[in-house]
Each structure stands twice: as C-alpha cells, then as structure tokens.
Amino acid sequence: MARRQSPRSTGADTLPEPDDFAENITDIDVAEEMETSFLEYAYSVIYSRALPDARDGLKPVQRRILYMMSEMGLRPDRGHVKSARVVGEVMGKLHPHGDAAIYDAMVRLAQDFALRLPLIDGHGNFGSLDDGPAAARYTEARMAAASLALTDSLDEDVVDFVPNYDNQLTQPEVLPAAFPNLLVNGTTGIAVGMATNMVPHNLTEVVAAAQLVIANPEATLEEVMELVPGPDLPSGGRIVGLDGIRDAYRTGRGSFKTRAKVTVEQVSARRTGLVVTELPYMVGPEKVIEKIKDAVGSKKLAGISDVTDLTDRKHGLRLVIEVKNGFNPQAVLAQLYRYTPLEDSFGINNVTLVDGQPQTLGLLGLLRVYVDHRLSVVRRRTAFRLGKRKDRLHLVEGLLVAIMDIDEVIQIIRTSDEASAARERLMSIYDLTEVQANYILDLRLRQLTKYSRVELEKEQDELRREIAELEAILGSDTLLRQVVSDELGEVAAKYGTPRRTVLLEKEDDTPKGSAAALPAPKGKAAPLALEIADEPCWAILSASGLIARTAHAEPLAESGPRVRHDVFRSVVRTTARGELGAVTSTGRMLRLQAVDLPLLEPSSGLPNMAGGVAAKEFMTLAKDESLVALVPLDTVIALGTAQGVVKRVTPEYPLNREDWDGIALKDGDKVIGAAPAADEDTLVFVTAQGQLLRYLASSVRPQGRAAGGMAGVKLAAGDSAVFFGVVAAPDAGDGSGEGGGGSAVVVTIAGSGSALPGTSPGTAKVTPFDEYPAKGRATGGVRSHRFLKGEDRLVLAWVGRGPAKASSSAGVARSLPSEHGRRDGSGVPLTQSVDAVGPSFA
C-alpha cells in the first residue's frame, strides 16, 4: 500500500497550501496536560455519574429517569409503558449515554431486594439476585407511589432548573425529595479515586430522626441513634455487632456483619434441617447453594447431605439445608457462616455530593443536609404559592369593581375605538391596574354571568386567609419547620413499613420475638463439637405410636406438665449413637439408630412427646402391622402374643440385616408386648376375660430367632390376651419408672366388647401386684376383675410399678381408684372414657 503524503509534502497529488497559511506549533507539557485532562474527567465522573446528591439521594441518571417519567405522566394510577420508551426519552432529551446504562439504573430503582422503598413499579422480569433482567423491549414500568413524593411540587419553583446537554431543554438540578431517600434506599457507586456504599434504613425511623433535627438543630448523635438504631435491609436478616454501625454513624465509615435468618426444623422423619428464610443484603440463594456445594466438595464443610431451594412467590425465600444424622446443627451452622455467604460483611462509606463537592458524612450530617434542603424547598414553594394567590386576589378585586357597574363597563368597551382605548378608559375611570383591565377585556361576555358578587367576595376572603397563612409561614422559622415536620410525618405514615432486620449487639444475643431462631454460636466460647457426642439418652415410644429420644440420661421425671401423647409405652436406655430394636405386631424386629430419632426439647418435667414423629415414618409397616415396643439389642427380650404364646429371644441378631423375624407366629396371632426379661424378672399375662397369670422369666428358656415360643397362658374358649409385660425385680430399677422404685400395681378397665371403642363407661380397678399369687407357666391364672352388668371383657390392662394414671381428655392426667377393689372383685365406675394408661412417669 502506498504511503499517504502530508499536505505539505511534494508530489503530483499534493494539495496546494492556502495563501494565508501560517504554521504554528505549540509545545505543551505532557504531564500538565494529562493532569488537567484527568482531573476534568474525574470531576465529570464524580459529579455527573457516580456519586449521589446528599439532598435527594439520587445520581444524575436516576434523577433524570424519575423526572422524565413524571413529565411523561407515568403515574401509579395509569398504565405501564414499555421500558424502552422511557429509556429512549431519557437518552434523547437528558442523558446522552448508552441505553444499557440508563436501563440498568432504571432496573435497580424497581428492585425491591435492592431498595428499601422501590421508586419504580416494574411489570415483567426485572431480575433477581442471581439473574439479570429481561431486555427493555420486554419489560414495562411506571412510577411507584413513593417516587411521587420525590417529584412533587416541581412546577412550583421549589428547585433550580439547569439546561440539558444541548441547551434545548431544562432539567431539575435536584428533586424536592419529600423523604430522606439517600438514607432510606442507600446507594452504591464507583467514581475515580473514590467510591460510595450506603446502606438502606427504615423510613419511619429515619423520618423520626429528621423530625428531631428539625425541632432541635443542636440534637446530638446519641439522641438521633435512639431513633435510628441501625440499618434496615430489604432482605431482612440479622446484623451482628453494632460497633461498626456506630462508627459509620459517627464518621461516615464503618462495617458490620449480616447473617441469614436460620431456623432448625424437622424437614423429614429422619433428618433435621437448617431452614433459611432471609439472606444477607444482596446475596442470592443460588450463590449460597453454589458456595455450599464448593465447600462440601473441597471438604471444608461436613455434616450436610443436601441443599434444596423451595423459594416461591407465595411463601418467599425458603432454602432447606439438610444436616446429616449425628451432626450438631449449631456447629454446622457455624461452619456455614464461616465458609458461605450466609454471613456477609457490608462496608459503609458515606461519600456524597454536598454543594457539588464530595464529602464523607455521618448520620447527623446527612440528616442536617436533607433538612436544610427540605426547608429550602418548602420556603420556595410557600413563596411561589403566596405569589400566585396574590396575583389571583388582584384579579378578583378588579372583577369586583367591574361587577359593581357592569353595564357601564360594557358601555365603555362598546364605545371605545380599540382595545387600548378601552383599557385606558377603564384604568382611569375605575382606578384599575393594567393587569386588571386586560383581564376584564379578555373575558368573554358570557363569562360575566358566572362571576356573581357573592362568589367573588367568598373567593376574596379565602384568598386573603391563605395569603395570611403563607405569609405567617414565611415570617416564622418555627412555623416553617413545623410544616416540614408534619409533611414528613404524613409520608412516613403513608409509605412506612415495620422493621425487617433484627439487630444483635453481640453474637450470642437472641433477638426478641424470634424464639424459633437458632442462636448464633458464641464467638469466644469453646467451639461446638461438629458431631453429636455418644452420650447416654432415652429412646421413647408413646401409646399413640410416636417415637423420639431425649437429650440426657437423667431418670425421667415422676411428674410434670402433661400433654397429649405423653403416655410412654416403651422407654429404653441407650446412647446417641447406639442401636436399638423395634418389635412389631407381626413379630418382626427392626434395627434403629438412636441418632435418627427426633430429639425432644429439654424440659424440667416430663419429655413432651408432641415433638416426636410417627413410627411409620421410620419403618415400612404392613397394612395391619403396628409398632409394639422399643427394646435394647444386647439383652434377652420376652415376647407375648394374643394367643397366649410367650418367648424369650436370645440377643443373637444378624449384623448385616436391618430387620428379621423375632418369633414365628401362627395364623391370626399377633405380638401384644415385648420387653427385656432377666431370669429374676416376672412375666405377666392379662386376658380379656379378666384372668391374670404371673411367673418367673426363668421358667421360659431363651430360644433362637426361628423358634415359635411356648405356651405362656392357658386361654378359655373365646378368650385372648390383652396385655403382656415384664415386671422387673425390685433391685433392677433403671430410672425409667419401670424399676424397683415403688410397688407394682395391676390396672384393669372393663367394658363391653360390642360397644364402640371409647364409648363404654365401664369400671376401673387398681390392685397391688403382690396380691396375685404366682402360678405355673401355661396355666389359667387367677381372676383380676369381676364384671358388672353390661360388661363382658377387659378393654385395657396394664401391670407395672408406681401409681398409674389414665387420660380422659387431651393433656389431662386422671388418677385411677387406689382402693384394692370391692369385695366382689369389681372395680369402681369410670364415668369418662379412657384412651391410655401408663406408668408413673406417664
């Protein structure tokens, strides 16, 4: 390619130099030029793009968007328009930059997770914390109700207007801002050599602080902070530690930690989960899930089995983090705080423009700048309204003069050669001003009928009253401040919402009103053990089929608050990481892990089984199969069936199976009771016809799993066993209530076999167990209850140590009769139906 020659070079294609051409080369200092150009560029970025004005809290592009939407009439009571239309109007008239930057600013003004009080009502996909918005051609927008408070009274000369970029239009230098938008919504921006990062606050609290500054300009920071204790983030969450916030309120710079709102819930029968319902500011659920998976994959996090995002529009954010069995949820949460965005830091940097200069202001400084701006706006608005009303009063007074002699006024106008002559004659005859005379001349003749004297005099009085009020406001600084304060109160009442973010002074503080929240682990305390220690505990099965475990191994209480399901059918001492067995009515035995059982909340009284989970959630049961008892796996277990079969099973259970048969049952038979039985313990059968048989467990030799047992009690025709149990030897107490503490008793409740369960009143009887003689195995036993008229069978029987109680309604314990029965062997009337009977601790 040929080299292009300069205009002054020689050659045939060279352009001739003009006659008046004079070469002038100026030498400049490159360093000075770079410094000057860079400073101009930096000032342009700082003032015109990146930093907000301390008065209305808006950057230039945000201010231009709201102003243009106001000019377009996109009020909240009108329909949405395409976002691209708004972007085009702003770009073409006020903001000569790319449409992407304008749309990005517009999107942020509509995001309720970014602003505490959104200023644009968006229709469509305006993005989320994890995804960007749809294109401007797809979304629609209009002004939010709160943005009306920012642009109100722009037509009343409340702020200065400046030319736009091509001097063809004007735009407001700042918006009137009827509420402290900078503190309420916060902002973020990066300029040249400086940046701003301001946190949102609660509107009601900020307005209360502004009212304090209005009433007392010398208010201290401590007084203001009593009204504004800390930020109020759009996403809620928790702020831990307030020292950094106090530093920011004092100096304009500081930082604080935000944490997600997390509760511990039983997400399934076997799993406990950490449920996240609020995240730190500007943290999305997908980001949290990604960080959790990365930390689990890199072995930084342990104890997490799954993470599920159940967020929807109806219920809001719900992130479920399942904790593996055997791990402490609080310790897992401490790890999550450390390695994931569930705990995040926010650095406050209150850099804002004050009189065109960037300054770093504390809370009190920001409030004072806003209050001064609002006082100026209200003062200028009052002066504007005063001028308008004086002008109108001047015209009304001229009309009143004309109305007094309307016929003469019409005659003057008709006899004048031209309008100027009529004006001069009206001014001279009626002593009118030129404005009044012109107004009368401009009126149509038909309009004079509307101006009755009474109406004009009424309007004149109203105008004079309003003028007096406006002049009083302008003449009194106290009245002016009161007007500003009252208007702020109206805005707070209209747009204010309750606080969302909980403030915690220290990490181990528990927020008020959030008992279900998981308290944060103490920072200086010993670190929590990640895995649950293998400590002794109790595994419990209730009469309604709920199973659970306690958090301690102390003896179960003999008394205490009682609620439904607190009747214990089986109580087994085990450890948190131990194994235990479950015996079903079909004779199956299943292996259970104690750590899988739901943990009951600690209490000073009886464990509350309302926190248990139905047994069918832990094991697969057939249609007519039910859980009979929980038993230990390291001792001999005695089983009793409805057909009177008894068996003691040796603890030789398969290690490679989770379930096996504990007894071979005959057709139609079922297991009715199971419990550990040493040789010195006593086995007890009670039949439906009221027979009781007791004998030593040593008379039943232990058998293998495949055996079918042996005859335990001899049953009459049509009879069946309703209870089988083991009464431990007097010195074999284990603290469960079944040991040697207290004498054993026999509880029997009679009723009618033909009546519906729970509808027959029947009779109840409590008899000392020692009064029943021991008989040989496979005999018929002795009579335990004599039936009265209408009774033909025992509906319930129980044998154990300690006074038994029956529940006749939910949560009400009722002591059974303590006498040893009547002479005829019958019980006393039981006037209420009974749904459960248990040992003393039940």
Positive or negative torsion for Cα 337, 340, 343, 345? positive
- Measured in degrees and rounded to the nearest 5, phi and psi for residue 335 equal -65, -40
Taking alpha carbons only, the member of 149, 131, 129, 248 closest to residue 196 is 248
- Measured in degrees and rounded to the nearest 5, phi and psi for residue 785 equal -155, 125
Taking alpha carbons only, the member of 587, 584, 593, 572 closest to residue 646 is 587
Neighbouring C-beta atoms of residue 822, cutoff 10 Å: 13
The amino acid that residue 394 corresponds to is H
List, in sequence order, every residue forming a beta bridge with 696; answer none if it has no partner: 682
Alpha-carbon gap, residue 491 to 496, rounded angstroms: 8
Does an H or E element contain 483, and which? helix 477-495
Asked if 675 contacts 728 with a C-beta cutoff of 8 angstroms, the reply is no
Task: Give the residue carrying structure tokens 């770079």.
Answer: 34
Alpha-carbon gap, residue 151 to 178, rounded angstroms: 8
Taking alpha carbons only, the member of 511, 598, 611, 530 closest to residue 278 is 511
List, in sequence order, every residue forming a beta bridge with 570; answer none if it has no partner: 541
Asked if 673 contacts 723 with a C-beta cutoff of 8 angstroms, the reply is yes
Taking alpha carbons only, the member of 199, 187, 249, 252 closest to residue 224 is 249
What single DSSP character describes residue 4?
A: P
Asked if 840 contacts 803 with a C-beta cutoff of 8 angstroms, the reply is yes
Q: What is the 3-state secondary structure (H, E, C) of 573-612?
A: EEECCCEEEEEECCCEEEEEEHHHCCECCCCCCCCCHHHC
Taking alpha carbons only, the member of 537, 655, 652 closest to residue 591 is 655
Question: Is beta strand 627-631 parallel, antiparallel or unpaired with respect to 546-549?
Answer: unpaired
Asked if 37 contacts 59 with a C-beta cutoff of 8 angstroms, the reply is no
Asked if 61 contacts 99 with a C-beta cutoff of 8 angstroms, the reply is no
Computed on alpha carbons and rounded to an integer, the radius of gyration of the chain in Å comes to: 44
Asked if 673 contacts 689 with a C-beta cutoff of 8 angstroms, the reply is no
Alpha-carbon gap, residue 694 to 774, rounded angstroms: 5
Find how far residue 704's CA is from the centre of its chain: 56
Residue length of the chain: 842
Asked if 327 contacts 283 with a C-beta cutoff of 8 angstroms, the reply is no
Alpha-carbon gap, residue 505 to 61, rounded angstroms: 38
Alpha-carbon gap, residue 739 to 571, rounded angstroms: 11
Question: In this structure, what is the dihedral angle of CA atoms 305, 311, 317, 321, given to the nearest 10 degrees?
Answer: 0
Taking alpha carbons only, the member of 563, 582, 567 closest to residue 839 is 567
Alpha-carbon gap, residue 765 to 437, rounded angstroms: 112
Does an H or E element contain 172, and which? strand 170-172
Which residues belong to the active site?
Answer: 138
List, in sequence order, every residue forming a beta bridge with 82; answer none if it has no partner: 140
The amino acid that residue 648 corresponds to is R
Alpha-carbon gap, residue 547 to 540, rounded angstroms: 6
Task: Give the residue carrying structure tokens 């016929």.
Answer: 407
Give the chain's count of helices (H) and strands (E).
Answer: 17, 41
If DSSP codes are grouped into helix, strand and coil, which group holds residue 273?
strand
The amino acid that residue 457 corresponds to is E
The amino acid that residue 531 corresponds to is E
